[in-house]
């Protein structure tokens, strides 16, 4: 099976929660970043999650800027490449805002439904709806509708309550009130009550606890992981231990290892990693260009040296840098060496 099926994905997430570890979820935009993600997971003997955002999908389609087409292309390639490895890969879409439900999420769910009718596996295993920009009531209304569609197609839905600060993929929340960065136990109770109306639907929950996208100097971002603990305890006190959420950690760049490990104890099973892997991909390219500037450009009438400006030369270094960062993320999240195998 090229990419995990629904049962294996649920098993992955359950095992992570039981074992207090989480899977890195890596954003990809090109075939090189896709390969880097899989190679990084494989080196750590870790299962993992690869995800495509609306902007990543648009980029993958070139000048067409078609976020659905680009996402399909990346997902199809991921299916073929992942089939050559022994680890498990789940495919996910990241941060779809409310105004893109009809132009991004639903077309991708429809594509999976079409494939299932033809006897083919799901295109994506999970999708994220980001309703953080609207009221919680409207957020949950859309979330319930989407969870119904996902359940019908054996897709896991990820939802978010609260706002992740900063800027990512063209969405800027840098000026949002700080109180919006923290999900309350009351919010978590509302999320559980709304989504568990859909019997058999499975979902992940990105509760916010001061998370901010991007990279900031120490002290600029104040994470409060105990918010996750308080919310989980409130939900389990009312609905029982089986109500414990599969939690997702967004905006984790620059977090201390102690903060990361604390969240694992509270039910985090997925941590999004994008900013750090972008840097890890780009940094070796910068080094290559600065070190070999007289070989990659035609200085003073010279012709340069082809083997240095051949994109394969520096893209291989970029891929290796990103893969190494992903392997480190697996170690930080304690998923290394824990692949469930095929």
Residues involved in catalysis: 94
- Euclidean distance between CA atoms 155 and 211, whole angstroms: 26
Q: How far apart are CA 129 and CA 101, in angstroms?
A: 8
Contact yes or no for 191/141 (Cβ under 8 A):
no
């Amino acid at each position: 099976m090229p990419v995990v099926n629904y049962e294996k994905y649920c098993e992955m997430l359950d095992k992570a929660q039981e074992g207090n570890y989480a899977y890195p979820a890596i954003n990809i935009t090109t075939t090189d970043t896709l390969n880097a993600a899989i190679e990084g997971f494989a080196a750590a003997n870790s299962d993992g999650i690869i995800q495509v955002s609306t902007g990543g999908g648009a980029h993958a389609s070139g000048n067409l800027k078609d976020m659905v087409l680009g996402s399909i292309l990346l997902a199809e390639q991921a299916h073929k490449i992942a089939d050559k490895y022994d680890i498990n890969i789940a495919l996910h879409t990241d941060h779809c805002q409310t105004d893109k439900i009809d132009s991004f999420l639903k077309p991708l769910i429809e594509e999976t439904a079409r494939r299932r009718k033809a006897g083919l596996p799901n295109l994506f295993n999970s999708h994220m709806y980001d309703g953080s920009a609207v009221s919680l009531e409207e957020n949950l209304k859309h979330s319930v509708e989407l969870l119904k569609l996902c359940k019908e197609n054996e897709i896991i839905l990820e939802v978010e309550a609260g706002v992740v600060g900063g800027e990512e993929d063209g969405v800027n929340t840098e000026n949002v009130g700080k109180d919006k960065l923290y999900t309350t136990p009351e919010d978590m109770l509302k999320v559980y009550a709304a989504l568990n109306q859909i019997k058999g639907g499975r979902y992940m929950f990105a509760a916010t606890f001061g998370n901010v996208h991007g990279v900031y100097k120490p002290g600029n971002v104040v994470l409060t992981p105990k918010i996750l603990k308080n919310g989980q305890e409130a939900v389990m006190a009312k609905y029982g231990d089986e109500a414990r959420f599969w939690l997702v950690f967004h905006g984790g760049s620059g977090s201390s290892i102690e903060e990361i490990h604390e969240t694992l104890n509270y039910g985090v099973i997925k941590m999004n990693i994008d900013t750090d892997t972008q840097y890890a991909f780009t940094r070796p390219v910068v080094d290559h260009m600065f070190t070999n500037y007289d070989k990659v450009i035609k200085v003073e009438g010279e012709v340069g040296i082809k083997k240095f400006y051949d994109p394969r030369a520096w893209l291989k270094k970029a891929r290796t840098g990103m893969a190494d960062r992903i392997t480190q993320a697996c170690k930080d999240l304690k998923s290394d060496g824990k692949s469930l195998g095929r």
